[in-house]
Structure 1
Amino acid sequence: MSIILQILVFFLIFLSTALVVGIPVILASPGQWEKLKDSVYKSAAVWSALVIFIGVFNSFVQ
């Protein structure tokens, strides 16, 4: 179970890094926000769900 938690945390770190780098680039690029707005919102929703899921899953790992 511990390896699953580590994989989930790795994915969270990867997604966090991608969002921290990608969102300012999208906002700074002319016209990109309109095209990629849905992707940004979906990525933020996945990130939020992953944080909650990792928190719940962590309570079962010793």
Structure 2
Amino acid sequence: MTIVIQVLVLIFVALSTILVVGIPVTLASPGQWEKSKNLIYTSIGVWVGLVLVTGILNSFIA
């Protein structure tokens, strides 16, 4: 079970890094927001889901 938590945290950190770089670049680029907003909203939803799932699964470990 701890391996699952570690993999979820690794995915969470990788996605967070991508979002921290990708969102400002998208907002600063002219015309990119209209093209990429669905992808960004989906990525944020996955990020929130990872936070919740990791927290719930971690409560069974501690």
Residue in 2 aligned with 1:50?
50
| Percent of aligned pairs with the same amino acid | 56
The two structures have a TM-score, normalised by structure 2, of: 0.97
Which blocks of at least 5 consecutive residues in structure 1 are unaligned?
none
Moved over 6 A (4+): none
> Match of 2:49, as an amino acid?
A
Q: 1:12-57: CA deviations, max 9, x gaps?
A: 0000000000000000000000000000000000000110110000
The two structures have a TM-score, normalised by structure 1, of: 0.97
Distance 1:61 1:10 in 2: 17
Distance 1:18 1:61 in 2: 28
Residue in 2 aligned with 1:8?
8
CA RMSD in angstroms, aligned pairs only: 0.6
> Match of 1:7, as an amino acid?
V
Which blocks of at least 5 consecutive residues in structure 2 are unaligned?
none
Of Structure 1 and Structure 2, the greater helix share is in 2
Distance 2:50 2:8 in 1: 8
Distance 2:61 2:39 in 1: 32
